[in-house]
Amino acid sequence: MQAAQTLPSVRWNIVYLPLKSLCPAQFPLHQDTAIPSTPRFWVTCEGGPAFSRILSRLPSGLSLGACLAAGIFVFTGVRDVRCDDVSGLSLCDPDRKRSCRRTSSIRQARGARRNGKHQPDDCDYDKFPLVFGCEDDYDVRRPLGKGAHGEVFEGIRTHNASSIAPTASGDLCVIKKLKSAKERMIRREVQILHNLRDGPNIIALLDVVQGPRSKEASLIFEHGDFVELKSVSKMLSDEEVRFYIFEILRALEYCHSQGIMHRDVKPRNVVVNLETKQIRLIDFGLAEFFQPGKGFSLRVSSLRYKAPELLVGQIRYDYSVDIWSLGCMLADIVFKKDPFFRGKDSTDQLARIVNVLGTDDLFPYLRKHSLQLDYHFSSHLRRQPRRSLFHFVTDENCDLAVPQVIDLLDKMLVYDPAFRLSPREAMEHPYFRSVRARHTADSDPRSCL
């Protein structure tokens, strides 16, 4: 039997898999190491019971090293977990570079749930009390836009009926008329907006109304003289781009801290007021509560802003899909390519991404999650290196495509979501140094420009 190793003060990050069906017969392991008699583990990743209690449930003879070899536990780098006097860790080099980043946003979201900000009942939308106001309390003035799930109008409040947020008769508002929406999906969007009501740069829901005859629901939002970021992105200065992207990151950080994925970040879902420098993240129709280990729908996000994990069928995704989408938005703006990845369908979209990011990181990511590409696509796929984003810098965009933003994009547009920056980590990037300094000096957003 191999002697137990003593690794004092070594920090590891270990992700465990469910043990409900674990038995020695399922794993052809060499029982050459033993679990220490008094193992001491401290875990801050993946939630669930304490790691020491998990080890105590392992069948006799299975060491931590053996479990790592069998895939029962997945080693993901030097971080978050300290192990003392653990045998079998020779399978992993303590000096090995971190292979996975457990994002701070995920840890914050789990902390938020533990602190009561996000309870299990949040995911049971049928329990959320949905009270409809009267549609006649609002008059439509003019259309503002149209989407797959409804139409948006400018409106005005005509009566002082009760509402979610205090408003007065004569106030302008935005009316989102939902088309053939299921009540459960309405409840989900309303509950998510309710949970996010105190967050920075998130559109405020004022009321939920229903037509007396049509029974179709409408959501009433704050007005604010906003325009879509897409319509003004070509007019923004370098400092304005930094400021607005920073403010979107603030909104996403709050969403993620409340356990919510937006899942449809794109230029049309960000609105700004150029005069007041206010910005809002809007349209939470596809947003969802994150639940570790749960599979989610792949039919989310717009094609040109869809993260690679959605394109290759990885249903167990997380908040990182929002970071990818924001990275695509930022690339659109700074390279003045609308959009940066212009795919015609899911296969073509992935091909456009591979043409820039290459295949060196794609294949390890696919193997890590046991994913397979479509045969027609993979049969034509050839190995190619990652292209430097400096290749897209031109005389026309060099004022925006500065080296700092290139470095930031390199850390956002990454195949493996575990390597992408969290919103907090992105906000701490040197690209936003000037915005952070001014943001700290004065809370008035106009002072940041």
Catalogue the active-site residues.
Answer: 264
DSSP string, 32-51: -----SS-EEE--SS-SS-H
* Cross-strand partners of 84: 40
Q: Is 88 left (phi over 0), alpha (psi -120 to 50) or beta?
A: left
Q: Which residues 6+ apart lie within 8 Å of 32 measured at CB?
A: 1, 2, 66
3-state secondary structure at position 157: strand
For 302, phi and psi rounded to 5 degrees? Answer: -75, 150
* Cross-strand partners of 14: 75
Residue 325, judged by CB atoms within 10 A of its CB (0-12, 13-18, 19+), counts as buried
**What is the distance between the alpha carbons of residues 174 and 265, in angstroms, rounded to a whole number?**
20
For residues 296 and 317, is the Cβ–Cβ distance under 8 A? yes
Whole-angstrom CA distances from 274 to 231, 251, 328, 448 are 11, 18, 22, 13
**What is the distance between the alpha carbons of residues 285 and 120, in angstroms, rounded to a whole number?**
20
For residues 51 and 41, is the Cβ–Cβ distance under 8 A? yes
SS3 content of the chain, % helix, strand, coil (to 5): 35, 15, 45
User: Which stretches within 201-319 are classed as H helix?
Assistant: 229-232, 238-257, 308-311
* Long-range contacts from 209-213, C-beta under 8 angstroms, 24+ separation: 209/132, 209/133, 209/134, 209/135, 209/137, 209/138, 210/132, 210/133, 210/134, 210/135, 211/135, 212/134, 212/135, 212/136
User: For the chain, how many residues are written?
Assistant: 449
Residue with tokens 């990037």: 429
**What is the distance between the alpha carbons of residues 383 and 359, in angstroms, rounded to a whole number?**
6
For 309, phi and psi rounded to 5 degrees? Answer: -60, -30
